[in-house]
Amino acid sequence: MQKKKDNNKRAKNSTKERSSQTISTGYTRIDDEQRRIRRRKREMQVRKQRRRLIMGSFAACFVIAACAFAFLYMNPLFLKAEVIQQEMAEDFNPTQNIGFVFGGKVKQVQVESSVDTSKPGDYEVTYTYRGHKKKATVEVRDTTKPELELQTYATDLAETITPELFVKEVKDASEVKVRFEKEEKWDQAKTYEIGIVAEDASGNETIKKTKLIREKDEKGPEITGADDVDIMQGKDLDLQNGVTVSDNMDPNPSLSVNTDQVDLNSPGTYTAVYTAKDRSGNETTVERKIVVEENPELEEKIVYLTFDDGPSENTGKILDILKKYNAKATFFVTGNNQKHDDLMKRAHDEGHSIGLHTYTHDYAKLYASEEAYFDDLQKISDLVEKVTGEKSYLIRFPGGSSNTVSKKYVPGLMTKLTKAVQEKGYQYFDWNCDSTDAEGNNRPVEKLVANATSSSQKHINILMHDTDAKDTTVEALPKIIEYYRAKGYTFKGLTANSFAPHHKVNN
């Protein structure tokens, strides 16, 4: 209210002043009117200008927006970086480099990447969206140092020291080479500080320290397994077998055995000397006592008549002849003619030896594998034990241990089998005199006798065959016995300790 009154007062006063001016000059009223008109004109102009300005701004904004839209439409794909630094062997996801997709989604962008994070190098990634392509370069680099874990190494003064000896574990994305920080002789018995450098393929290096403990080794190697041994005269003994050597420092000490004094063919007590040496020059010797027991057979002149492939219908005739001459022989039997197994029993009961020739005598089956051979051997062993009541440990390989047929099935098989049968407690017998009755049926008796009596060795193992078709072998037998008997030979069946001729193994 107060304000209104004041305004009224002011209005009244100005009217008073104006009246006094009007009174003073006659043109004053007209001037005022003109001024008012001019002012209104100016105001109109200002308003017009303002309107124009606003309209102009609107137009400009519209143009800018249109341009922006057009630009984005032409370049809808924005990448975060055109060059990406990528650590080797770490995960790389090219999609993560997409910054913004105008009018679309990240997953609509096609990404083609040739990046191989396992190899340092520059690779290209191509992003395609609505036909627009963007490229980024990925710089795969190995900037990570190898992870290196070291260990203290203790050894004698003889070992050559290499940096690898100290490395417990080393890890890196690329191949790492280790070397000494500084190479020295390290030839004193003391503790050295050693610097090991691990360098990866990109030249990143890790250096760590560890210790080398050099000790003077004064302890010789230890020899085990050289226990005293009893053996039958004439038998083979591998004196290296079962004897081992170890050392506190040297992982590969040497071992040698001196058997110059040992004669396995003559009864007696012998000493074999084992010598072991480590790399520091420490030596250990162990003496092994070998008692060779007398084998009476070895002192005699003996013929071992052997008949393979039986029993047969000729077995009885052979047994009759042997009975007549009071001679003993050996039958290497098969399981192929079991109707005559009573003759196998008779042979055993009359004091002849029964040996295992195999159950099937089928080369393709027998020599198919080590396992196949032993499966078959078990069958003939069981059969012989069933028929005779006694287990046999005598073996004759079909074709002899020198056969090359087995090569066709398994290379190296006979080398394995000849060792394996002996390790299982068997003895195998080849022959050192061949009657040659296997070369055909009805071979002339004179030929068989001539061949079977061609040997003058102390121990003669004669190969013959006992089959239905070998009639001339039966006919030749008395003459063969008479020949050798006249020369002072006795006729014995084989035992596991008998002289065992072994052919050269060819497979």
Contacts (CB under 5 A) with Zn ion, residues 219-258: none
| Both tokens assigned to 333 | 């039997």
CA distances from 87 to 137, 140, 172, 174, 202 (A): 14, 6, 12, 12, 12
Catalytic residue among 340, 348, 352, 465: 465
Number of residues that bind Zn ion (CB under 5 A): 3
Closest distance of CB 331 from Zn ion, Å: 11
Binding mask 257-296 for Zn ion (x = CB under 5 A): ----------------------------------------
127 vs 307, which CB is nearer to Zn ion? 307
* 308 classed as catalytic: yes
Q: How far is the CB of 278 from Zn ion (least distance, A)?
A: 52
Under 8 Å CB-to-CB from 359, ≥6 apart: which residues?
334, 335, 336, 376, 377, 379, 380, 383
Q: Which of 435, 483, 485 is nearest to 461 (CA)?
A: 435
Instruction: Tell me the pairing of strands 153-155 and 176-180.
Output: unpaired
Give the H/E segment covering residue 192.
Answer: strand 191-200
Strands (E) across 323-454 are located at 329-333, 353-356, 394-395, 427-428, 433-434
Q: Which is nearer to Zn ion, 200 or 309 (CB)?
A: 309
What DSSP state is assigned to residue 201?
A: T
Of the two residues 221 and 398, which places its CB atom closer to Zn ion in the complex?
398
Q: How many helices and strands, by DSSP H and E, does the chain display?
A: 11, 26
Smaller CB distance to Zn ion: residue 358 or 455?
358
Q: Which residues contact 218 (CB under 8 A, 6 or more apart)?
A: 280, 282
Pick the stretch among 36-44, 115-123, 301-309, 454-462 that binds Zn ion (CB under 5 A).
301-309
Nearer to Zn ion, 156 or 309 (CB): 309
142 catalytically annotated: no
Nearest Cα to 355, choosing from 471, 477, 466, 448?
466
User: What DSSP designation does 450 have?
Assistant: H
* Chain centroid, CA 281 distance in Å: 35
Residue among 161 and 452 whose Cβ is closer to Zn ion = 452
CB 223 within 8 A of CB 243: yes
Does residue number 434 form part of the binding site for Zn ion (CB under 5 A)?
Answer: no
Residue 126, beta-bridge partner list: 112, 135
Task: Select 284 or 401, whichever has its Cβ closest to Zn ion.
Answer: 401
What angle, 0 to 180 degrees and rounded to 10, lies between the N-to-C axes of helices 28-74 and 2-24?
120
Q: Least Å distance between CB 332 and Zn ion?
A: 7
* Neighbouring C-beta atoms of residue 22, cutoff 10 Å: 13
Least distance between Zn ion and beta carbon 379 (Å): 16
Nearer to Zn ion, 134 or 443 (CB): 443
Q: Choose one: 152-160, 262-270, 302-310, 370-378; the region binding Zn ion (CB under 5 A).
A: 302-310
What is the CA 235 to chain-centroid distance, rounded? 39
The smaller minimum CB distance to Zn ion, of residues 94 and 311, is found at 311
Helix (H) or strand (E) holding 86: strand 83-87
Measured from the CB of residue 424, what is the shortest distance to Zn ion in angstroms? Answer: 21
- 413-423 helix and 370-388 helix, angle to the nearest 10 degrees: 40
Phi and psi for 338 in degrees, rounded to 5? -70, -10
Q: By CB under 5 A, tell whether 308 contacts Zn ion.
A: yes
Q: CB 329 → Zn ion: shortest distance, Å?
A: 15
Taking CB atoms, the residue at the shortest distance from Zn ion is 308
Instruction: Report d(CA 328, CA 354) in Å as an integer.
Output: 11
- Please pick, among 172, 308, 430, 437, the residue that the annotation labels catalytic: 308
- The CA-based angle 310-316-319, given to 5 degrees, is 95
Binding mask of the shown chain, residues 372 to 411, with x at each position contacting Zn ion by CB under 5 A: --------------------------x-------------
Q: 156, 247, 309, 341: which one contacts Zn ion (CB under 5 A)?
A: 309
CB of 306 to Zn ion, least distance (A): 10
Segment contacting Zn ion by CB under 5 A, of 129-137, 196-204, 303-311, 418-426: 303-311
**Positions of E strands within 325-435:** 329-333, 353-356, 394-395, 427-428, 433-434
- C-beta of 361: minimal distance to Zn ion in Å? 6
What is the nearest approach in angstroms of Zn ion to the Cβ of residue 334?
A: 7
When asked if residue 297 is in the footprint of Zn ion (CB under 5 A), the reply is no
Give the residue numbers marked as catalytic: 308, 465
**Binding residues vs Zn ion (CB under 5 A):** 308-309, 398
